[in-house]
Structure 1
Amino acid sequence: MGRGIAVLAALTVSVFVVGTSEYLISGLLPQVAADLGVTVAAAGQAVTGYALGVVIGGPLVTVLTVRLPRKGVAIGLLLLFAAGNAICAAAGSYELLLAGRVVASLSHAAFLTIALLLTTRTVPAERAGTAIAAIASGFAVATLLGVPVGVLLGERAGWRVPFAVLAALALAAALLLAAVLPRYDAPDARVRDELRTVTRRPVLLIIAMTSLGMAAVSTVFTYLATALGEITGFTPTAVSVLLLVYGGGSLAGGLIAGRAADRSAAAAVRGTFAGLAVVLALVPAALGWRLPAVAAVLAFGLLASATTPVLQSLMLRRAGGAPTLAVSVNVCAFNIGIAAGSALGGGLVASGGLRWLGFAASGLSLAALAVTFAAVPRRATAPAPRGDGVRALQS
């Protein structure tokens, strides 16, 4: 039991480090642009480059490492992540910064995939959803704490310092995993088994659900601070506090959803998307008054983060004996949904629709809810099996 807790703690810390990197540079763009002699818009491509590296490189790295022992791959991916951030910290040119971001991004989806699979290996099958939620909380804490602290550090000590700190933290996390992770044999699944699994209809439907669900969240969240300031009239300080409220709700919502997924995967995913659709539809009205706006932000945070554990738990259930690539592609689907939602929201804002983003996002959540009825059997309530194939892939 103690060894299992240590493994979960080490994986959560590692996910926190990796999760902090994705959005850290967003708050440092003016400094980066001024130092490297590029425009802020050009510097922003470092965010795009990272996202593309996750979406394209994640499945590729997963396929290349699918037959290797999980412990060695996990440590190797953290070392790759550390190297990418070290390149960013030392970058003397815009091109080198982009290269470092891409190198770091290649480990993102593959590492999260391994973390999720090792997590399900560590706990009993009936607690898989709760354990996945605990790992996912590393990302919630990264958004809530890691990114703001990193930006503050960059403002005080220079934009390179946070990347150097991330590289050092990744090395420390690699050492921690080396100390606590058990040694497992390489998985038995072949690459063609993984490819066959990821093209199965139930798996593709879950990937579609993930993209739609995250697009719904991102459509509103990307412009939430702007809406709270311009429409509700909150001060910048109050908006920052509300974003902390959102982050706290996200942390709690993910953990609650993980326990719900252990009881009934079908009910958890449908309840999440139905609740999210209702809350998002109420956001335009709630923005008109401060107290309802605070309640909407909290409810939004609770439901937005609930999507992660329920969708990944579903993927592990539906992918059968070869889930590694399917989980990796689903991680990429989160990023695709975030990008699509941000683009949709941006288009609506440009057309004067800042207040009405919730209606579009609610429609996306309803679309995800509709897909659940095709993807998830009504009786899909039992915990994920722990057959030989699953055990092999979790190792």
Structure 2
Amino acid sequence: MPIWLFVLLAAGFVLYTDDYVIAGILPELAQELGVTEAQAGQLITVFSLTVALAAPVAAVAFARVPRRWLFTGALLVFIAANLAAAFVPSFAVLMALRIIAAGAAASMTPAVFAFAAQHAPPDKVGRYIAVVSLGVTGSIAAGVPIGTWIGGQLGWRVTFAAMAVAGSAVLVAVLAALPRERDAAEPPGLGEQLRTLRRAPISLGLLANCALMTGSMMMLTYLAPFLADTTTAGVNERALAFSLSGLAGIVCIWLGGSASDRWGPDRALAFGIGTITLTMAGLWGLWLIRPAPLSLVIVVGTVWGGMAFWNSPAIQARLHALAGAVAPQALALNTSGTYLGVAAGGAIGGLALSSLGAGSLPLIAAGFGIGAFLLLTLAQRLTPSGADRVASGERG
């Protein structure tokens, strides 16, 4: 695989780490800036919502900008925002800087996936997307812990400075390794873009991704209280469960990309969603016999954690195949749906946990998985025959 693909992996790692890393430095940040930890946590919410709202707008606005220029500009803004955050005088200014950094991430993140898919060999689109997606799981497994350690040892401001340094390293790598393009391909007119994105096979797929993310992130967000209610797990055992889920996610995001190339995105998604639904049923059954054997709960939870990431390359490969020239805009909307799913999962899961108890979480998550499967099935039936052959993995 080309070196530029791993540069894009590094870009994804840095951009996603920048979103999540605040979770690890909330206490110190809140204390120094004179706000509560709950208020400081809104920095994550604002970042996610900004990406969700700005990504599709940026995809249309910058459609004619060559990717090399787009990535350079976005990284320069990202670096400046994080460097300024290291010297920020107040919480309000920090909030504004987080919005600016999120805008840069929104401009670049979907374009990174689209670039990887566009320049991949036809039989390796899923694997190329999976490589870039490893930056997402890597940010959770390594980026956030490293950023948290830096903040704990040297102060939270140094964490932001470290993000600026990391962004600078990615910028140098992009300029050195990214293939040169004279001009970006001329995109369709805005009207044609909107008509394409409104087509049922694409719009239903976008809704399905949002549903999948809602169910997965709801369970991930409240995994700790579920484990506490279902088993006798302590802090160390809960940490082990999260670590194993993250490692499984790294493995399965690659396997999901390979399956998407070999079976086709539709079949890969059917397998992934089916496995997620079965594991949710298994976790609910273990909750019914609580206290359940911890080792069994961790095994089932690890399978679920891995399969939650399995679907990402297939979803994006499917959209890329169906959207054609509008693929960057479709992937931008998919990014929006992902971030909205994260927000919705936290909100719905919180309501379910407080009103129905931890046992309801896997059932509701399974319901979202089934809903996503039904949406994708309907999308497949409404896909024109030629495009359906591409999405299903048949090659002629």
Fold in common (TM above 0.5): yes
The partner residue of 1:308 within 305, 309, 312 is 312
TM-score by length of 2: 0.93
| 8 A Cα contact 1:58 1:107, kept in partner | no
Give the AA of the match of 2:188: R
Indicate if the aligned counterparts of 1:312 and 1:327 stay in contact, CA closer than 8 A: yes
C-alpha separation in 1, matches of 2:196 and 2:221 = 33
- Give the AA of the match of 1:111: M
Residue 184 (structure 2) aligns with: 186
- Which residue in the other structure is 1:126 paired with? 123
* AA aligned opposite 2:71: A
Q: What is the rounded CA distance, in whole Å, between the counterparts of 1:17 and 1:252 in structure 2?
A: 20
Counterpart in the other structure of 1:261: 260
Q: Which amino acid aligns with 1:382?
A: G
Letter in 1 for 2:326: A
Alignment of 1:77-88 (within 5 A): 77-88=74-85
Aligned counterpart, 1:171: 168
Deviation per residue, 1:68-108 (Å, 9 max, x gap): 11111012112222122223222110111101111111122
Corresponding letter in the other structure for 2:312: T
The corresponding residue for 1:203 is 202
- Which of 365, 373, 380 lines up with 2:377 in the alignment? 373
Q: What is the CA-CA distance between 1:352 and the residue it aligns to?
A: 4.7
The residue type paired with residue 278 of structure 1 is L
Contact 2:117 2:317 in 1 (8 A): no
1:286 and 1:296 in contact (8 A); partners too: no
Tell me what 1:40 maps to. Answer: 37
Matched residues in 2 for 1:32 and 1:240: separation? 23
Shift of 1:383: 6.7
Tell me: CA distance 1:225–1:384, structure 2 relative to 1, closer, same or farther (3 Å). farther
Q: 1:20-39: per-residue Cα shift (whole Å, max 9, x none)?
A: 01111112222111111112
Partners of 1:323 and 1:121 lie apart in 2 by 9
* Cα deviations by residue, 1:171-200 (Å, 9 ceiling, x for unpaired): 110110000011112121135133332222
Equivalent-residue separation in structure 2 for 1:383 and 1:126 (angstroms):
11
Which is worse superposed, 263-272 or 163-172?
Answer: 263-272
Give yes or no for the alignment of 1:275 onto 2:275: yes
1:368 partner amino acid: A
Gaps of 5+ in 1: 386-395
Confirm or deny: 8 A CA contact 1:29 1:43 kept in the other structure.
Answer: yes
Counterpart of 1:346? 350
Retained in 1: the 8 A contact 2:117–2:320? no
Once structures 1 and 2 are overlaid, which stretch shifts more, 348-357 or 90-99? 348-357
- 1:376 Cα shift? 2.2
- Which AA in structure 2 matches 1:187? A
Letter of the 1:295 partner, please give it.
Answer: V
Aligned residues: 382
Residue aligning to 2:109: 112
The code of the aligned residue for 1:277 comes to T
Alignment of 1:8-157 (within 5 A): 8-157=5-154
Match of 1:224 in 2: 223
**Counterpart of 1:392?**
none
The amino acid across from 1:240 in the alignment is A
What code does the residue aligned with 1:41 have?
Answer: A
2:321 aligns with 317
CA distance in structure 2 between the aligned counterparts of 1:233 and 1:376, rounded to whole angstroms: 44
Q: Conserved in 2, the CA contact under 8 Å of 1:18 and 1:108?
A: yes
Quick one: which of 359, 362, 374 aligns to 1:358?
362
Q: Secondary structure at the match of 2:325?
A: coil
Contact 1:280 1:359 (8 Å CA) reproduced: yes
Identical counterparts, % of pairs:
28
RMSD in angstroms over aligned alpha carbons? 1.7
One-letter code aligned to 1:80: V
User: How far 1:115 sits from its partner (Å)?
Assistant: 1.1
Q: Please list the CA deviations of residues 225-246 of structure 1 after superposition, one character each: whole Å capped at 9, or x if unmatched.
A: 2322343122212221221100
Whether the aligned pair in 1 keeps the contact of 2:55 and 2:110 (CA below 8 Å) is: no
Q: 1:383 and 1:188, CA in 2 relative to 1: closer, same or farther beyond 3 A?
A: farther
One-letter amino acid of the counterpart of residue 229, structure 1? A
TM-fit CA distance, 1:375: 1.3
- The question of whether the paired residues in 1 share the 8 Å contact of 2:257 and 2:310 is answered with yes
Q: Distance in 1 between matches of 2:196 and 2:104?
A: 22
Q: Secondary structure, in 3 states, of the residue corresponding to 2:359?
A: helix
Equivalent in the alignment of 1:296:
300
What's 2:246 paired with?
247
The gaps in structure 2 that reach 5 residues or longer are 382-387
The one-letter amino acid of 1:244's match is S
Residue type matched to 2:267 in 1? Answer: A
Q: Secondary structure in 2 aligned to 1:233?
A: coil
2:384 corresponds to: none
Q: 1:191 to 1:15 in 2, by over 3 A?
A: farther
Mapped to 2, the partners of 1:281 and 1:237 lie a distance apart of 25
What CA distance in whole angstroms lies between the structure 1 residues aligned with 2:208 and 2:169?
A: 35
Structure 1 counterpart of 2:385: none
